[in-house]
Amino acid sequence: MAIDISLQALNAKTLSSFLVIAILPLVIVGVVTFSMADGKSQRIVIGGSLLLLALVLSTAFYWQASAIRIKATPDELTVGGGLYQVSLPMSQVETKNIRVRAKDDKNHRVGPRTNGIGMPGFSLGWHRTTGDVKAFVAITVSDKVVVIPTRAGYDILVSPPDPDTFVAEMRNL
């Protein structure tokens, strides 16, 4: 038996955040720079450069957001994708202690990001939790978080579409 779940990071919240954080500033810079350009060739170079930058940023964002997965086999657990991913042997996972995070769990709220990507509706990478626990996070829905304790010195926090089914499947591996 194996688990392979894609986390849907491409949602309305993350896309609108990306537009505000990355694309809108490019448009503003483009309009200001374009209006200050003297000739047609300068405008073409500026417009082309900004369009290329927007395309590169959008492609990188799409690739990173669509690559997030949770894969588990009896031998290994892999969470993340793209630039941020963690894999560890299942012998390091405390499968009996995997649980859906309770609403009042103050120790496993996502705290400061130490290395990763974060925006509304999307957190991926290394964080400290509010309980000062090191955690690898792959969360797209903050009210459906599963806590996966490990013996590797950190916890893993994920948001599968059906947390209760995921916990049951992980315990059966």
Tracing tokens 């009996």 back to the chain, one arrives at 96
For the chain, where are the E strands, in sequence order?
A: 3-6, 69-72, 76-81, 84-89, 99-100, 110-119, 122-129, 134-139, 146-149, 155-158
List all residues 6 or more positions away from 4 whose beta carbon is below 8 Å from its beta carbon. Answer: 69, 70, 71
List all residues 6 or more positions away from 65 whose beta carbon is below 8 Å from its beta carbon. Answer: 9, 10, 14, 122
Domain residue spans in the chain?
8-66, 71-172
* Tens-binned pLDDT, residue by residue, of the chain (173 aa): 799 999 878 878 888 888 888 888 988 988 888 888 888 888 888 888 888 988 898 888 888 888 899 999 999 999 998 889 999 999 999 999 999 998 888 778 888 899 998 888 889 999 999 888 899 999 998 888 999 999 999 999 999 999 999 999 999 98
